Structure 1
């Protein structure tokens, strides 16, 4: 077997409307089902504006009484990365949008091959918004194994 690409991500969320607004209105995902404002049936399906595939994100509502993600080091998902471009200008635009929407930035990092902002969705799932750094040969181990440095935009 050979994995060809990461196909989609499924997240449990407490409040489907709140989470759908975040992924749609803050991050710019295109909501496929249900149509925004329609009865959600406790799920929402999205794809990126590129329309690369049938769906890339599925949110499933589990209710306000669902257990929270444990804090600190734990087994399981740390974060997922969303490529938003190939230039620091695009990262600056994202930072402005995050500030405009009141979305806290948890961190900013220079990984040599990528420059990244870290945020969390309304349920605490951490998300890396990144751009590939032009001219970096990311296929060499040195490019992706470099020490993480602070990012200044």
Structure 2
């Protein structure tokens, strides 16, 4: 048997600077890399030493997918759920679907581009 872990997810967003700043503050991550990308676009890799989000934008008008198409949500683990929610709210985003059941507490939010995130804490 082999074992693995999620190394990165590549997300198309309308404003990579804004999205990068949110994930750096929310998760304590840093910018790992930045550079030119396909179609005259730009990418920022924001994460830690093991995992990251590749945030991509191109020069075309951004056209978001419908809710939960093609991705339902991306789950992110934090140590302090209350502090994480404060950061999301301070970014001008709304949280919803708060739950407290085994094995942890969680809430959800949509970013500015309609991408859904689940923030969970097992603390």
* 1:20 corresponds to: 20
Report how far residue 112 of structure 1 moved: 1.8
Q: Is the 8 A contact 1:119 1:127 kept in 2?
A: yes
Shift >3 Å, 4+ stretches: 25-28
TM-score of the superposition, structure 2-length normalised?
A: 0.78
Q: Is the 8 A contact 2:26 2:84 kept in 1?
A: no
Aligned residues: 118
* 2:92 corresponds to: 102
CA root-mean-square deviation:
2.3
Report how far residue 120 of structure 1 moved: 1.9
Matched, 1:79 2:69: no
- Name the SS for the 2:85 alignment partner: helix
Report how far residue 7 of structure 1 moved: 1.5
1:93-133 deviation digits (Å, cap 9, x = unpaired): 22222333322113212232121011122211111111126
Q: Is the 8 A contact 2:24 2:47 kept in 1?
A: no
Distance in 2 separating the partners of 1:110 and 1:63: 41
* 1:11 corresponds to: 11
Unaligned runs of 5+ in 2: 37-41
* 2:103 corresponds to: 113
Q: 1:31–1:102: structure 2 CA closer, same or farther, 3 Å change rule? A: same
* 1:62 corresponds to: 58
Distance in 1 separating the partners of 2:90 and 2:99: 21
Unaligned runs of 5+ in 1: 35-39, 134-153
Q: Which has the larger radius of gyration?
A: 1
Q: 1:27–1:122: structure 2 CA closer, same or farther, 3 Å change rule? A: farther
Distance in 1 separating the partners of 2:82 and 2:105: 11
